[in-house]
Structure 1
């Protein structure tokens, strides 16, 4: 899982580190279906890591990268170090994106700023060129009041 770049903008997005996986369905040919847990360090907020679990389709199509992964994903973000915000953040910004099918489907993680509560809110969802999925997951990381969140 390599670092993805947001098309046209050239801004760096978070890179995934696979933490582990569990098999859910045995496949005689090709890899098994599984649930994968990946970690993403927020590239603009040192000290925040998001963990995303999602289904990964196996079998022959999955092994060749031709299968479409399911839309369900779960996210949990935490302060894994001292949180610092070296530059102003956008009110809402994509932190990570990865293809979950050959052409049309992507898993996305978006960061939103809740200025009133000095909190970073992260949401994961899946979209498609024609029709996305309403399934999503959300988590929040409170930032200490001594570190106000600057906005662009």
Structure 2
């Protein structure tokens, strides 16, 4: 084998090694990017979980305090204020229902929106002096928005 042929093979081998190195670097960069994104998502989940936990503790404390029951007519106003508060926090109303219970009106509210707006709404939920207790809260993420199903009771006289 001549020196020229050997050098030609080395150039080809160097080119192949260079291409493989570039591919390896690109794959490594992509892996690091995906790992970073996953860490960021895990951090957001931890913040959301802590916020919901903090909110639940506050809701439990609030539900343990004494407020006043309202009349049936006032219960309609309280429900309207809660819906307006949701809309005031830029949340979309997906559905609302209520029916009479022994101690008041059991209401359900389906809303969706951005996480921060949802948290602000829940922090100030039932902030009037009417006796309102949250019976259940379910949240999930759909198409980049938080969807919440809130079950609450407005206590009546």
TM exceeds 0.5?
no
TM-score, reference length from structure 2: 0.28
Using CA pairs under 8 Å that are at least 6 residues apart, name the structure with larger relative contact order, 1 or 2.
2
- Work out which of the two has the higher radius of gyration on C-alpha atoms and give 1 or 2: 2
User: Normalized against structure 1, the TM-score is what?
Assistant: 0.29
Greater fraction helix: 2
- Structure with the larger strand share: 1
